[in-house]
Chains A and B, each alone.
Chain A
Amino acid sequence: MTDPATITAELTAYLTEASCSDTPLMADTDLLATGLVDSLMMTDLVHHVESRYGVRLDAEDLRPKNFRTPRVLAELVAQKSRLAAPAPR
């Protein structure tokens, strides 16, 4: 579950559904400028990411730079997920 491309695709699909968007979102859709992610969406998105990928997003992670696009967020999730996974033996 640490492949950024897979996570990007999944998050793009989740956000398309959750935002009731007319047109499917793209991996590089600007989530902030378009207003797709607001404070209501944010709580659901964080909850979704944490339960789906088993990572923990701290207050420090919840910054505009990490939520600019689905791809950017997926990179963060992938990175956290690699750190959380047990080291290969």
Chain B
Amino acid sequence: MRETKRRQQSELNSGLTEAFMATARRYPSQHAFVHDHRTITYAQLAEMTEAFALRLTSQRDWRPRTRVAIRLPNSPEYAAAFYGTLLAGGIAVPIPMEQSTGWIEHVLESTQTRWFVETANSETSDASLRRVDDDSLDASRIEAPNNLAAIFFTSGSSGSPKGVMLSHRNLLANAQSICASLPLQQTDRALALLPFCHAYGNSVLQTHLLTGATLVVAGSATFPATLTEAMQRHAVTSFAGVPDLYRLLLPAFRASAAARTHLRYTTVAGGALRPEITRECAELLRPAELFVMYGQTEATARLSCLPASQLATHYGSIGRGIPGVTLEVVHESGRRVLPGELGQIRASGENVMLGYWNDPEATSRILHDGWLQTGDLATVDDEGFIYPKGRTSQLLKIGGYRLHPAEIETVIAREFPTIEPVVVPFETADHFTRLALFLLPLRPGLTPDTDKVRSCCRRLLARHQRPDVITFLVTPPLTASLKIDRLRLSELAAETAERRLAGQT
């Protein structure tokens, strides 16, 4: 009886999980994961997935389209919880490990999620399923769209986190497009460093598990040498990284040729890598190939690709749309821009999200007539290659994480009502983007206690949201139109950071 019920639910949500299970049947003894010192075959991962699905469906009040929050580090357990939730007919809500309690509560409330998967012990990544102790949460209160597979929360252009709704079809279509753009093979052993709970890391997970390749989870970005050692030990053939990761890894790669012995190709996305650093990486990694890609969570993950063979003639470009994606740069009037003219990137394809969770208004601002307005500015050359030129809004990328200054400003303003907080990005001497928080007193004579603000940041903000520089400022620089001059504040922040590094605090 239960078996029949489950089969019906899985047919209802056919797509991604079935594709994964088909891969598992095809390559049962192939390694799906190499996780520190253990290996998990496809047959084992499929078993873990079915066991997880059964744990969900055997709950008395389990209903299809129930949301399940997954807060696990990259591990076979994460994959089993993700696919298991889908197999049970549920909807996965990945929760980044670095997010604060307040953020998580917001997401659980917004999605009416009562099931939470987490690890009791980060060393073993055991997954334990618990019920959120909050009787006011009720999944039936908000009807989820048919075929919804997962909701990925990300920073929106207004500052509050938005739930990007991805269907089975979205996830499958994008995984297929990515596989068609890269030399990904079933024999690949990819270093899976990017968190699976974010769009880019999730696309690494899906593409490899649908191909029958191996994901290697080992080493830490904090200590690049542990990554190069892991690459050597596990004969890693590929990896995906954000620009900051490449900058961190460059010295370690230079020091260790052995790490690159088996490397065939790498991808960079999730922010702009400066052309000169792209060139340096490409030259260092050779004969391995570097693919520059571009995308966003609203498009499942990836939208464009600059093939390695075209890199040397197109530094600074993100390439062109990947198969199945139409990517255009358009003028405000809606017509396509002429070569060299600035416009906004828009995208269409089966990978474009269903919309933002429970927010039709925000959805209608970004999705029109089947087009996703990315909010990214760009120019196009006469061959159709796209060159990004910043954003239309103040969205930022810190260490690959997307965020909006308002997310931080709102928290500080709430905690310190007599202060106007202004958050700006600045560039460090070695070209990393960091945040600065300027505290402007709303009443004259008031001196904010920067230590209290610092402690508040630690308590209420995730690591990537925490400002590196916190400065009290009586008279802010203003623009000609008498708005706070954020560009000038960024320069001030860079100078302050330089002085601090030089020990002249």
Which A residues fall within an 8 A CB radius of B? 17-22, 32, 37-44, 47-48, 51-52, 58-60, 62-64, 67
Contact = CB atoms under 8 A, between A and B. Distances in A.
A59 B228 CA distance: 10
B251 interface: yes
Interface stretch (B68-76, B294-302, B318-326, B459-467): B459-467
Nearest to B398: A40
B502 interface: yes
Contacts of A58: 251, 255
B501 A20 contact: no
B468 A44 contact: yes
Given A20-B454, A20-B455, A22-B459, A44 B501 contact: yes
Contact of B254 (A41, A59, A62, A63): A59
Interface residues of B, number: 34
Contacts of B221: 39
B106 interface: no
B457 interface: yes
B108 to A, nearest CB: 23
Given A20-B457, A22-B455, A48-B501, A59 B224 contact: yes
B256 interface: yes
Given A18-B468, A20-B457, A40 B501 contact: no
Given A58-B255, A59-B256, A64 B226 contact: yes
Nearest to B468: A44
B255 A20 contact: no
A79 B219 CA distance: 27
A51 B432 contact: no
In the A-B complex, the 5 residue pairs with the smallest Cβ-Cβ separation, listed nearest first, are A20-B458, A39-B221, A59-B255, A59-B252, A52-B503
Given A43-B430, A59-B256, A64 B223 contact: yes
Contact of B255 (A19, A22, A60): A60
Contacts of B455: 20, 22
Contacts of B226: 63-64
Contact of B463 (A22, A40, A43, A64): A40
Nearest to A61: B225
Interface in B182-224: 220-224
Interface in B146-203: none
Contacts of A42: 222-223, 248
Contacts of A67: 223
